[in-house]
Structure 1
Amino acid sequence: MPFKLYYFKTFAFILFSYLFLSCSDDDAEVNQSIVEEYIHVGDLFLTSQGNVDFYGQMNLIEVTGTLNISSALSDPIIDLTPINSLRKVNILSVSGNSQLETFNGLENLREVQNIQIFSNPRLESIDALQLDGNIINGIGISNLPMLENTTTFSNIEEIKVLSIGNLIWTDLFAFSGLKRVTNVFSVGDMNFLESLDGINIEYVESDIKIENNDQLINIDALQSITETGISCELSILLNQNLTNIDGFNSLTSINRIRILDNNSLQNLDGFSNLTAITNELDISRNESLSDFCGLVPVITSDGLVGNFIVENNLFNPTSFQLSQGICTE
């Protein structure tokens, strides 16, 4: 599909003139150098190291659409330093690069609206990319088995979507500056994650998803969340070593709660300050769960508006039993 190229040329023009002397007849010399800055309008696909080198020579400074960095085995991308002039892109997508190890070359990239980094098996560091604190739409990072924890996102305070999955991180200090998530906060398939330490989020608008994190022991860091949107859904699923949900003891209201298949979960004390669940409550298949006393306040105050589903746990009280204070086996 054709695309427009916009060139901004800065001319450095130097004219050297030599005066004619009585004994000389030198010609005048003209030296001209051209420095180009290239803005690519639309999406740009870098599929080989040759592509990267070419656009480096073009002095690429901006991509108005999506910059896709995804290379084939025949000419894998191993070095991004040729495009170190890049300053702004709308969407940055880096995926399927079998040999790429660092983001060196992206040091000058400061403005990005969306970031997608996934399936780069040798990627160890993205620290060369240091984003400022501007609001960006989304960050998705997944399937990066060598990626070390990073400071790339530490200055971001607000984001629309944050999705993290299948990394070797043991904590979330990479997002220590984040305060507001205006849509979805999702952490899943993090087999080395032991806690959510580092997170200081105060507000989530839509969904909170903590799913399939085998080594996750506690979620206490989520105590900083004091407010959610009116449609917010909380999903805690398949976290085999999670023993409690105390990280939610600052919440007073939420739309929907799903606590499923957390085999080490023993109590729901983290919900003791809830006064309203405006949709469904589903607590199912948590084989060690025998203490529901954390739900007594919201049930006795008629704070649950929607369905009450409690089944296949170690203890399965009815809503009437909870209203009578019968909350543990």
Structure 2
Amino acid sequence: MKYFYSLTLGLLLLISSCKKESDIIAPVLGIPTVITHPYSDLTNYSVKISGAIVKEGDSKIIESGFLLDTIPTPTVEKNANKFVRELDTNGHMSVTLTGITDEHRIYIRAYALNSKGIAYGNEIKFTGLPSKSFPGSISLSSQQEVIEFGKNHYTSVGELKITGTVTDLSPLSTIASIAYGLYIRNTTALSSLKGLDNFEAANSLGLFHGMYIENNSMLRSLQGLNKMVAAKGELYIINNDELTDLEGLNSLAYIHFGDLMIKGCEKLKNLNGLEELGWLNGDLVLIDNPQLADIKALRKLNTVTDNLHISNNPSLENLIGLESLRKVESIQLEDNPLLSDLNGLINVDSIAGLSISNHKMLKSLESLSKISNIDFLTVSDCPSLQTIAGGKIFKSIHGVILRNTGLTSLDGLQNMVSARVIEIFNNGKLTDLQGLNGLRLLEGETYSLLIHSNKKLISLSGLENLRRGTSPTGDGSVQIIDNPLLENYCGLRPLLASNWFGFFYVNGNLRNHTREDIISMCKI
């Protein structure tokens, strides 16, 4: 796993790399042997630091990392910043420090701790490069304006807007960071982002900005962003109709505090360029990309802290590329007409919500077998969906809505013990409710069980273990409506005979029995 920190007045961003060993400090009394390598890749925004454990000493390494200060000889007890770092299999560790302050000297030592004590590597030092800042906001709408602004050789800018008839960003090649937002919008002649070759970060000082590449009618390439390893804030790539891939983002490994949205790119065929993206602190949104057929470039993505939303991508046949994804808050899949399976989601662990709608080719949810817990499942307008799974697929599930599907069975939902909402609506092949056999309790402020417009449903068998409904407000309901063949209600007898006093409504079925009818007619 990679870690990150940002450096502003002593705070740092951490990203891994490896260097070769030198300047070894001799071990003393069984402590580790540690080295600090020379720094590398110093820019106006960042610098790479690395070190290594040459020998563990007489016991296992407990902790290792780097110590920083603005005065010499930082120690574990006295430092401006301490960064605990995991070692790779060769005993190497590294950091990339970002937000480097110009012409300030920083002293760094690697360190390691075992049961015998603390060992320090040799000390290295570096001085930030001279910089030149433009703290305000600038909008450049013509090539001449770009040229004139570029003559200032700024290394950082407060906010940068590129628009209009700009054709070439080469005059801006000295810019390494943008404190707040980078906006490349509504250009009519810009074909690539080449010229931003030293650019490393937007939103370097803020939390509510980011990068916005939108409505650029001639943009064919994102080349020029190759040095950007981490994005902070939103990264929006929207309505760039000539863009066919995302090459140029090849170094991007993290997105912090913002969403990645790729939307409305008419010719986008794949996500090539995102091969290094592993962690996203926000939403991943893929919407309205008519030629997008391949998302394999996401193969390293393991965490999306918020929502995965994939909608209206008519050429997308599968989700292959998401196999590394394990952590995601919720998943929303809508209007991807060729999507026939969810195999790419096979390793997702636990999610708050899963919503799947309007997928004509989807036949099963069995690929989701590793999901241990799901709070709420919604499936609608999936006429080819015949089965949820061939057995229990969720260890825990707390609510479900199934509308307009081809389900012949509810097999797969057996682990749903309690629920706030269950809605079974217009599932034309369903004949009973087998699969809900684990359901024992309806609960929540306004819990609801709705069985509506299932034209082949003849029996409520499957509900026999439902015995209670509980609500702090007393508001709960069971409604059985417009199921033209339904005459067997005996699955509800245990609930109705348990002094349950929620709202009970029956109408439009082959037989419309009262509570009393069901209790008296059905055997225990």
8 Å contact kept, 2:231–2:252: yes
Supply the RMSD in Å over aligned alpha carbons: 2.4
Q: Are residue 292 (structure 1) and residue 482 (structure 2) matched?
A: no
Match of residue 181 from structure 1? 374
In 2, distance between residues paired with 1:204 and 1:180?
6
8 Å contact kept, 1:46–1:68: yes
Tell me by how many angstroms 1:178 deviates: 1.3
Q: Are residue 307 (structure 1) and residue 516 (structure 2) matched?
A: no
Match of residue 284 from structure 2? 92
1:239-296 CA distance string (max 9 Å, x none):
1111110111111111321101111100011111111133211001100101111111
| Secondary structure in 2 matching 1:298 | helix
Structure-2 change in CA distance of 1:188 and 1:312 (3 Å): same
Structure with a larger share of its residues in helix: 1
Q: Are residue 39 (structure 1) and residue 227 (structure 2) matched?
A: no
8 Å contact kept, 2:342–2:365: no
Match of residue 224 from structure 1? 415
Moved more, 125-134 or 162-171: 125-134
Stretches of structure 2 that go unaligned for 5 or more consecutive residues are 1-12, 14-44, 51-197, 199-225, 471-475
8 Å contact kept, 1:52–1:83: no
8 Å contact kept, 1:271–1:294: yes
Tell me by how many angstroms 1:326 deviates: 5.6
Is the radius of gyration larger for structure 1 or structure 2? 2
Match of residue 129 from structure 1? 322
Structure-2 change in CA distance of 1:66 and 1:319 (3 Å): same
The 5 Å alignment of 1:169-208 reads: 169-182=362-375, 184-197=376-389, 200-205=393-398, 207-208=399-400
What is the aligned residue count? 290
Tell me by how many angstroms 1:52 deviates: 5.1
In 1, distance between residues paired with 2:244 and 2:304?
21
2:479 is aligned, of 268, 282, 297, to: 282
Instruction: Give the alignment's TM-score, normalised by structure 1.
Output: 0.81
Structure-2 change in CA distance of 1:8 and 1:290 (3 Å): farther
The amino acid of 2:480's aligned partner reads I
The 5 Å alignment of 1:121-270 reads: 121-134=314-327, 136-167=328-359, 168-182=361-375, 184-197=376-389, 200-205=393-398, 207-213=399-405, 215-225=406-416, 227-229=417-419, 232-255=420-443, 256-270=448-462
1:109-164 CA distance string (max 9 Å, x none):
21112200010000123211223433x21001121111232332222231101111
Stretches of structure 1 that go unaligned for 5 or more consecutive residues are 1-5, 13-33
8 Å contact kept, 1:9–1:37: no
The sequence identity of aligned pairs, in percent, is: 25
Tell me by how many angstroms 1:222 deviates: 1.3
In 2, distance between residues paired with 1:165 and 1:8?
45
In 2, distance between residues paired with 1:210 and 1:54?
40
Instruction: Give the alignment's TM-score, normalised by structure 2.
Output: 0.52
Match of residue 27 from structure 1? none
Tell me by how many angstroms 1:8 deviates: 4.6
Match of residue 68 from structure 1? 261
In 2, distance between residues paired with 1:129 and 1:181?
18
In 1, distance between residues paired with 2:332 and 2:347?
17
| Secondary structure in 1 matching 2:432 | coil
In 2, distance between residues paired with 1:97 and 1:160?
26
1:111 is aligned, of 292, 303, 315, to: 303
Match of residue 29 from structure 1? none
8 Å contact kept, 1:140–1:163: yes
| Secondary structure in 2 matching 1:248 | coil
In 1, distance between residues paired with 2:322 and 2:296?
8
| Secondary structure in 2 matching 1:294 | helix
